[in-house]
Amino acid sequence: MAEQQMRKTFQQVLRENDILQVPGAYDALSARLIEQAGCPIVYLSGLANEASDLGLPDLGFTNSTEIVRRAGAIARVVERTIVCDADTGFGGPVNVIRTVRDFEAAGVSAIHLEDQVFPKRCGILAGKRVVAPDAFARVIRQASDARRGPDFAIIARTDAKEADGIDGVIERLKRYLDHGADAAMLGDFYSATEYERIARAVQAPLIVCAADPDYHHVQPDYSREQWRSMGVKMVVYWHLPLFAAMHAVSGAVRHLLEHGSLTEPRVETGGYRHYAKAVDLDGWLRVADSGESKP
């Protein structure tokens, strides 16, 4: 179990890093692995959580209670700053207020809210519909006013590229920032030139989504230096842990069924020692065997 310490605020982490590349956790164990790898932020991906928790696609199936519960489980076992996908706020104005306060109480440092029509759909998918800019600006104001403390950050995400074009995206983000958002986020994929233009225009920390390999024909796998040169502050690799786990599990199970053994021929997996380190088994055994108060 992670020792409970004061987490850095989201704003602190942004100030201390010129560029952040953040994988998307899908549960508490993947969050611990991300922390142990040295990432200063643990990001709870909405798509990854929906798939791992419900076995369903990112089409708005998850409700606020389910993802807040998952976020709370992560907060109990990691010390890093936690950022969570909060979809559209899971309903109307009263739902947005509850969503903000529940995430804040769970130990989360920041959430992002998006301007899609409720229920939303995955940012990759065509056919996304967005609300009017003024309406979502009011949502951001409600979210900003609802937080209990000034350190809880509200990130405004827009998915309006298809509907409004680049000019519309920029105007939306500016409006959301004027209504209390602490950072701006893009849910669509863009070219390097477009990212540079948006970063110059919005004058706020810009958070973007990396593409998975199936969409590298739409948006390349930009390097850290390329992201930095575009003016991007944080890149969310929402797919990486979940898709890596899916690939590994599928391959290992097929190998076993085909060959009847994990060693002849050998399939590459981690072992018990890796698991024990990930869950801090030694620390918990000290509690069980000697009565220590915590690992």
The string of pLDDT tens digits covering residues 185-194 is 999 999 999 9
pLDDT confidence bin for 272, thresholds 50/70/90 = very high
* Residue 99 forms part of a structural domain: yes
> How far out from the chain centre does Cα 193 lie?
24
Flag whether pLDDT at 3 surpasses 50. no
Q: Does residue 42 sit in the same domain as residue 133?
A: yes
For the whole model, what pTM was predicted?
0.93
Say how far apart CA 272 and CA 286 lie, in whole Å: 18
> What residues contact 179, with CB distance under 8 A and at least 6 apart?
137, 138, 140, 141, 144
H helices of 122-239, in order, are 133-146, 161-178, 192-202, 224-230
Question: Chain-centre distance of CA 45, in angstroms?
Answer: 4
Angle 191-195-197 (CA atoms, 0-180°, nearest 5)? Answer: 115
Least confident of 132-136, 188-192, 247-251, 288-292: 288-292
Determine, yes or no, domain membership for 256. no
Residue 207 has pLDDT above 90, yes or no: yes
Structural domain span for residue 66: 10-215+223-246
DSSP character for 26?
A: -
pLDDT value of position 5:
54
Question: By the 8 A CB rule, do 118 and 111 touch?
Answer: no
119 pLDDT exceeds 90? no
| Assigned domain for 251 exists | no
> What are phi and psi for residue 234, nearest 5 degrees?
-145, 135
Tell me the three state secondary structure of residue 209.
Answer: strand
Quote the mean pLDDT of the chain.
94
Q: Could you tell me where the beta strands, DSSP code E, fall in 11-160?
A: 20-25, 41-44, 81-85, 110-114, 153-158
Distance of CA 260 to the CA centre of its chain: 38
Q: Which residues pair with 110 in a beta bridge?
A: 83, 153
* 275 within 8 A of 283, measured Cβ to Cβ: no
**For position 148, which CATH number holds?**
3.20.20.60
Q: What is the pLDDT of residue 98?
A: 97
Same domain, 115 and 196: yes
Judge whether 125 lies within some domain.
yes
Of 137, 144, 134, 136, the closest CA to residue 116 belongs to 136
pLDDT at 26 over 60: yes
Task: Say whether both 230 and 275 belong to one domain.
Answer: no
Tokens 């998952």 -> residue: 70
Average pLDDT over residues 209-227: 97
What percentage of residues in the chain have a pLDDT greater than 90?
Answer: 86
- Do 174 and 43 have their domain in common? yes
- pLDDT average, residue stretch 71-88: 97
Instruction: Let me know whether 66 and 156 are in one domain.
Output: yes
Contacts of 13 (CB under 8 A, 6+ apart): 20, 40, 41, 81
6 pLDDT above the threshold of 90: no
Give pLDDT tens digits for 148-194: 999 999 999 999 999 999 999 999 999 999 999 999 999 999 999 99
User: In this structure, is residue 106 part of a structural domain?
Assistant: yes
111 found inside a domain? yes
Using a pLDDT cut of 70, give the percent of the chain over it. Answer: 98
Tell whether 239 and 127 lie within a shared domain. Answer: yes
Specify if 1 maps to a domain.
Answer: no
**How many residues does the structure list for the chain?**
295
Q: How many C-beta atoms lie closer than 10 Å to residue 228's C-beta?
A: 14
- 45 and 100 fall within a common domain: yes
Tell me whether residue 141 is in a domain: yes
Does the pLDDT value for residue 1 go beyond 50?
Answer: no
